[in-house]
Structure 1
Amino acid sequence: MVAEIHTCDPLAWDTDLLVYEDPTNDCSAMTELACNGDASVLPGCQGFYSHIQFLSVSAGVTYRIRVGSYGLGTGGGVGTLTVNMQIATPEICDDGIDNDVDGAIDCLDSDCFADPSCTGIATGDECFVAIEVFDGANPIDNQPFTTSTDPPVDYTLCPGTGNGAMAFDGWWEYEATETADYWIHTCDPGAVGWNDTDVIVYDFTAAGFDCANLAGNEIACNGDSFILPGPCQNWYSLIELPLVAGNRYMIRIGTYSVFVGTGTLTIQSLTCPPMTGLSVATDCNTGEVTLSWDANAYDSIDLTRDGVLIASVPGNDTSYVDLGLAPGSYTYEVQGVCAGIFGGSETVVANVASYGGESDVIFGLEGVDQID
């Protein structure tokens, strides 16, 4: 059997919930099975109720349920503890019920992906057949898609941004490559037909990698944006949000009303790699200074000498020659640039000496009577 235990009650307090197995029935050898602080799955609850789902239990075994408050002096009173029991059965893929009690209903359950009632769905048309996307520009096409009805569209995170019907929406899945702030946007002046987008991002890791749990795990959304310098189509969408390396996110993109076509989904970290491996070599014959550094993924690289910008070179360059310098000491700073964001710089000092073609070198020494 599977148990669902929660404290949802609009008149109750901020709860914490733990469940223990008590095999000796005297509290002397209890094992903690599950816990929850705050949940957001059920409707009509107090702000911070607790909810444990899909807890396997056995008949004849004693379980202890412990309910507390968030902290001393932060709540308490009268509430409701609800315990629902359900016997798991094989999933039926077209009855609208979570038969196997795993949180996924019908075609959203992986047990049903190959079921005849769930086949024929275009890749990307629903969450459970999302298309994987990566850093950078990803081509997108909503022409094969229908309008999803689950989960319901929630624009409360981005009111007043020109949100539409999320029609003909598609689903794309992304794993963050670093812990950083990101831009996720649909700016594409070459978009064909699909020139008005709406975007919602869900925390798929927090949803347990289960499409049935996306509701309540929305983290950002946008209808229309005007931040990027462009050129962009008229009503592109842009979200700036923090992502965590290794976590997975579901990106849902639809249209304001009836626009279908092709476009681009760009996922861009707002950090820029630091400069590494900077070295210097000088030529006293010519007064040249050669700077070298490690290759990295930059849009461009800025170089300064004694605090003054002397060059901005392509991001894939790994060296630069500064010509015809007079004898002296020079401080160089080299820094990568990514979409206008500056990465960490490195600094090096170059000493340029003069050479007039002399054929002899004379040493002045004291206290030494022999040179080998």
Structure 2
Amino acid sequence: MKKKLLYFLIFIPGLLLSSCEKEKLGNPPASTVADFSYTISNNGYAPCEVTFTNSSLNAGGYLWNFGNGLTSTDSNPVVIYDTPGLYTVTLTCTAENNVYYNKLVKTLVVNIKDPMAGLTQVLYFTSRNPEGGGVHLVYLTDGVPQVQDFEPVELSRPYGIAVDTAHSKVYVSDYSLGVIYRFDADGKNPVRILDYAVPGQEIVDSPEALMVAGDKLYWGRPGGIYRCNLDGTSPEVYISTEGTVPEYPIDMQYDEESGKIYLVNDRTDYTGGYFTCDFTGSGMTEVIPDIDGTAIEVDTEANKVYMAVYPVDGTAVTEGGVYICNTDGSGLAKIGDYGSKATWGMTIDQERNKLFWGYKISNSNPDGKIIRSNLDGSGQEDWLTGVSPHAMQIAWIKL
């Protein structure tokens, strides 16, 4: 018993002394911990904007390396990635305290997706023949073009075509029949989504220009620009030009970045002209008055407009052909010829910097061709012969 009491008397003072010593040491210095997260715009497809959110602790400074040759010392930087790929992003923090348990570096891999992955570049075009018309596609390669036909449908004058890349659909309008068809991107499963003979769909009569923007299909006809849902439901007047110009948009293009519509107005029965307006129709401006344009294409990267124009005395175009100008109408110049019949189709291959347009000898016999040139009109070649080409459009699309 005495031994136990002695041990207790020795142990308790030792424990108290140890506790006092720990209190004298104080709290350890705060460590620095590097950490961050990020969000990506455009669903992660290039080009996109990556916003980095810094959640590091007790850091005196930051050094970012974004894996693309750029660095930053900002706390929460925003970086634009233009090219697809895997980017190793490293955040290095400056420590507030020199302690061994600092974690000064955080690394994450950012995956910028390729918007063209799984997509095929295709030229779509319509044609006329003595029995009616057809729709076709050509895979764009550096080899000889090979034409593939869509499933046949009733056609007479297929003057309009538009491609919905988001849903892999192709739309074709027929001026004479007053109808619009929708196809799968490979030319299968045609559906007549609008027919002016159907009650409630009369506003699709005489459709020519076609375009897809967002979740709507738009077409030009006498009286302005009209639209519907992509399945043909809810057709309505979108931009009315009743009693004013342009009376009949026969071809049009939309530049999503600038929010502009570019169009040519029919001159056979109306006043003609090259026009621009905002997407809502406001600011409608006749850029080049009175010209008789039948097709239009816009190079949004170079701010250039291409038009097929018939000659009209007293206008800016007295010699028919394929013309180029700036989007504001300046610098108008002829760069090519078309055949004896109207050219209804033009399109641009941005991959190879080429312009395509139709060259017709007759309205429906396969005696025409599609001409391809450089974007300035030089280097012209007969790219595809033995066809009567009408509307055309190039797209990268999932088949």
- TM-score between both structures, scaled by the size of structure 1: 0.24
Which protein has the bigger strand share? 2
Larger radius of gyration: 2
Which protein has the bigger helix share? 2
Greater RCO, CA 8 A, separation 6+: 1
